[in-house]
Chain A
Amino acid sequence: MQTYPPAAAVAAVDLVKVYGTGDTAVRALDGVSVGFDRGRFTAIMGPSGSGKSTLMHCLAGLDTATTGQVLLGGTDLTTRSDRVLTKVRRERIGFVFQSFNLLPQLTAERNILLPLDLAGRRPDQEHLDRLVTTLGLAGRLGHRPSELSGGQQQRVALARALVTRPEVLFADEPTGNLDSRSGAEVLGLLRDSARDLGQTIVMVTHDPGAAAYADRVVLLADGRLAGEIHQPDIASVTDALQTLASAR
């Protein structure tokens, strides 16, 4: 059993996730132990079916693991009820999705404030103003999602994730639906919030270009940890992925 430095904001310990039963059972995660350091931007990579999305869902309390532990700042999430997990998601975790997932009937501002509304908390106006300015959303707050470009929608989604000052921000293929310029913008913003604001970020991606923005890349294959790269660049990530693919 390994121990992890207290610097880890969120960590998985011997995490196993099995889908289905009997012959059709699939071990999506097969004993993964990994920590994600506080204030750093980590990318999870791996071929399709390597279990990277499952890992993120378990870490974020969206899904429960079959065995093993998920530790969020010392809290064990694996044995918690749905009610507790809901509260954790609302107060300690932020999400950014591939397909933005904004509510079409709400304005950008109401979308951003949605998690605070659900928690019944008042927004910290200063924090909100800084977020809106940093993300370049000033003047767009009154618009509805259908009136915004893809990049703008994803920046609204990013603001929504950051408005609660979450301990960890999870991003699931955040640039998957964006053109390269908007994608680069969003990734730059993610990197800046880790670097300047000390925001812990965990991002799942299959794009080496996106992973290169991270401080560290964790590689997954067949539900197991398959190595990691510190201070990655496009070349080193591409090499590692090719090695993994040829090893199968």
Chain B
Amino acid sequence: MNAVLRTQLAGVARRPSRMLLTGLAILVASFVVYATVLAQQITVRSVLNGLSGTPEAVGLVVGNGEVDGDMLTAISALPGVAEAAGRVQIGSQVGGRYLNVSADPGRGPLSLVALASGRYPSAAGEIAITPRTAQLTGFAVGTSADLDPGTGTKVPVTVVGLVTARDDFGYDAYAPWTTVSALGAGERLNQIDVRLDPGADPDAVRSRIDALVAAAPADGRPEVATGADVRLAEARAASADVNSVFAVVGMFVAIAVAAAGLIAASTFRIVFAQRMRQLALLRAVGAGRGSTFRALATEGALTGLLTGLTGVLAALAVGHALPPLLRAAGFTVASPGFPVFRGIGTVLLAVVLTVVAVLAPAVSASRVAPLEALRSASTTGARTGIGVLRWIAGLLPLAGAVAVAAYVVANLPGADTENYEVMPMLLAVVLSGTLAFIALIALGPVLVRPVLALAGWPLRRLGPVGRLAVGGVGGSARRAAAVSVVVALGVTLVAGVLVGQASMRVLMERETAASAPADFDLTGGDGVTLPDGFAERAARSGELTRVTPYRRVSSVTVGDVDAPVTDVDTTALPRFADLDYHAGSASGLGSGKVVVARFVADLAGLTVGDTATVRGAKGPVPLVVIGVLSDMGPLHSGLLVTPEDLTRLGAPAAYSGILADAAHDGAEGRTEALRALRAVPAGDTAYSVDILADQRDQIESGLRMVLAVALGLIGLTVLIAVVGVGATTALSVVERARESGLLRAIGMSRGALRTMLTTESALYGVIGAVLGLALGVPYAWLALQAVGLNAPLALPGWQLAAAFVALVVLTALAGVFPARRAARVSPVSALGTE
């Protein structure tokens, strides 16, 4: 151990907390990394435990080829086979709604469903449905309906029971195989699950089945696998999903780790700057530049080792303490194991990261002139500008970022661009953003002053404390830049997600305006019209409002384009106001006029003012185009016309459906409204109610969940940024103890000093947030355009403002503790510190 290292380590040993402070960001990063490893393990284990796609009782599976009823009979008859279940599904339509009917024995160990109420179907024409399906269709035990299995002929079926299944999508029915077969599946099967007699030799049974199967023609010959293999493969597929989710999580963790590296580099620079006199003294008494550098780098590596180890152990403790607590609270969660190698890997990552972070600060610290030791500490002012090299290191990536961004802008997809490749463009946006960020890191110190001048203006007016805080941050612009850049990274990501989410929301609203303009839609499926009196009955209900009957014809032609047409009144429902028009509008829609969807306009070559010749069952009818929608028309139609024009096109006078909203708000209002609308057909199951409101709610909650998850993951980077601000403030406070002492000596109160230091800490947040917003919003817009969804550019002002305020508050909080400590120290001892 060289002498320099020995003195440095002695210094560290005297104040171990400062070493921890230096490596705090690394500690948090290694905690996050290892916690992610454990979380993945927990998730995979929990998923594997809960997986029951193929029942435990299944010994052999015959599938992956042509399997039929004869084979099922043959296999059932084999010695050693206790039971064989044929699996097959058919798609069907009931009352204009999709229904998936699966074959299941309904009882015994091979069944995938459990009876909830009623009884399991046994006779032909009997089915059982899942609870969610019952909820969505309004069917209950005893309901009879006509089922169209896709053949065009309707088969009457009766619901005799409710069953719960592993997955419930809301369109699931179950019945014995014979029923499904009679409904239209025929003899065809997807696979056969075989349960063996207890004590039967699986290999013997398997060879018997193999022999049976060998008779099948070679090109469709099914395979025989053991149940265990199939279960394993299903589990693997499920955990592959988990792993791909964690790959995305890993990406965010990687960003957080990079942020921790930036913070560590900045804190090392501060710590070494504080020791400059001491290092200079060592140099003056003969320590070489090389050994000084090595000593500082070794200290960095030790810091990485210590903090990395602490982080990993903390993650391990939390990872093992949490699952039992969750289990006690009633969740099914498995405990993680002890992934030793990945733990060592995390510590190594921490060490490598710290060493990389310490290199630049150590090089510049070891270059200290021995003369520095003889200088008075107070006269060495911090440099605020940046050197030529740094200008170059900043301007080159900036030029690159601008060039790549310009390329993306020049190649943005139009509405009609064909063969547009999204991935390369998105990668280009990411590349440009990364380059811009590197430029920000290099040019940060130059940007801090203008931002500070802007953001500090109101503070300066607040009086001397604000003025001093602005001066304090501006006085060490490099330090402010180093920590603010990391805050900016967090804010950039947050702003990007918020803007992206807001734009997607507008896009979704436009789409739902066309597809789900009202809460409910009562229809009888394509081509079916409603009997007289439905609309009147619905309109009389006090639970329903804005009852809007409409007619829809599924096919008319414009030129050689085939499209559905409707006469729905777009002024009757407020949600139609969200429809977005590419050109023109629907206002002024009258006889002889038409609004067309974008695809109709594009394919038929129509623009506003053109006359379209439309042919239906009758026609042709010439109509003037007064508007082109950006997307689909209302109710997925291609054309929107007046009722008289629709009649001229040959549409029957009867309505195709009724749109209606719930008259009262809340879940109860909606349930009542649904009940009222379901009562309209008076038990005729040929007509069903689509709950469009559910679609909207699902999209909404989906968006919200994605937003929450994304913000949670970005939260890691924000957390590290805040930790960095706290560490920087704490170290700055130590360094500026004399300054604090002086201010107290000439009459600054304790509270004012606290306010000043906390404000400085918050200013790091302000600078970071301003830079982050300036970078995040444009890049989010660019990315949205590059995706090519024609998404509008939304600016969620309130959300961005809230994010801004939250970040400033967080960074201010990070400074509260160091500020309190600084204010407690007596002025005399503060003035006495070197």
Contact = CB atoms under 8 A, between A and B. Distances in A.
A99 B381 contact: no
B379 A146 contact: yes
13 contacts: A86-B748, A87-B747, A91-B747, A95-B745, A99-B378, A101-B739, A101-B831, A103-B471, A104-B382, A104-B475, A105-B471, A118-B748, A146-B381
Contact of B746 (A63, A106, A160, A177): A160
B378 A62 contact: no
A103 B470 CA distance: 13
Interface in B793-834: 826-828, 831
A144 B739 contact: no
Interface in A16-65: 57, 60, 62-63
Interface string A77-119: 0000011001101110001010111111110000000110111
Given A103-B471, A103-B739, A115 B747 contact: yes
Interface residues of A, number: 32
A100 B381 CA distance: 14
Contacts of A5: none
Given A62-B826, A63-B826, A120-B464, 11 more contacts: A86-B749, A87-B749, A89-B745, A89-B746, A90-B748, A95-B745, A95-B746, A99-B378, A119-B747, A120-B463, A146-B379
A114 B827 contact: no
B742 interface: yes
Nearest to A116: B464
A104 B378 CA distance: 8
Contact of B464 (A105, A117, A160): A117
A145 interface: yes
Nearest to A90: B747
A86 B750 contact: yes
B744 interface: yes
A106 B746 CA distance: 15
B47 interface: no
Interface string B154-166: 0000000000000
Interface in B452-493: 463-464, 467-468, 471-472, 474-475
A19 B819 CA distance: 26
A115 B472 contact: no
Contact of A118 (B379, B750, B752, B827): B752
A5 to B, nearest CB: 28
A118 B468 CA distance: 10
A102 B376 CA distance: 13
Contacts of A104: 378, 381-382, 475
Contacts of B826: 62-63
A160 B742 CA distance: 12
Given A103-B739, A146-B381, A62 B471 contact: no
Given A90-B747, A105-B471, A117-B463, A63 B828 contact: yes
B746 A62 contact: no
Question: Closest 6 CB pairs between A and B?
Answer: A90-B747, A105-B475, A117-B464, A105-B471, A146-B381, A101-B742
B273 to A, nearest CB: 14
Interface string B194-224: 0000000000000000000000000000000
Given A104-B381, A105-B472, A118 B467 contact: no
Contacts of A118: 464, 743, 746-748, 752
A103 to B, nearest CB: 6
B464 A62 contact: no
Contacts of B472: 105
Interface in B739-797: 739, 742-750, 752
A83 B743 CA distance: 14
Residue from A91, A97, A101, A144 whose CB has the most chain B CB atoms within 10 Å: A101
Given A63-B826, A99-B376, A89 B747 contact: yes
Interface string B369-382: 00000001011011
B742 A117 contact: no
Contacts of A145: 378-379, 381
A57 B827 CA distance: 10
Contacts of A115: 746-747
Contacts of B752: 118
Contact of B827 (A62, A99, A103, A120): A62
B738 interface: yes
Interface string B72-104: 000000000000000000000000000000000
Contacts of B739: 101, 103
A135 to B, nearest CB: 17
A57 B376 CA distance: 23
Contact of B750 (A63, A82, A103, A105): A82
Contact of A97 (B381, B750, B831): B831
B237 to A, nearest CB: 62
Contacts of A144: 381
A135 B479 CA distance: 35
Contacts of B831: 97, 101
Contacts of A106: 468, 471
A134 B169 CA distance: 89
Contact of A86 (B474, B742, B747): B747
A99 B742 CA distance: 11
Residue from B376, B746, B831 whose CB has the most chain A CB atoms within 10 Å: B746
B87 to A, nearest CB: 77
A237 B569 CA distance: 107
A62 B828 contact: yes
Nearest to A119: B747
Contacts of A83: 749-750
Contacts of B382: 104
A141 to B, nearest CB: 16
Contacts of A114: 464, 746
A57 B828 CA distance: 7
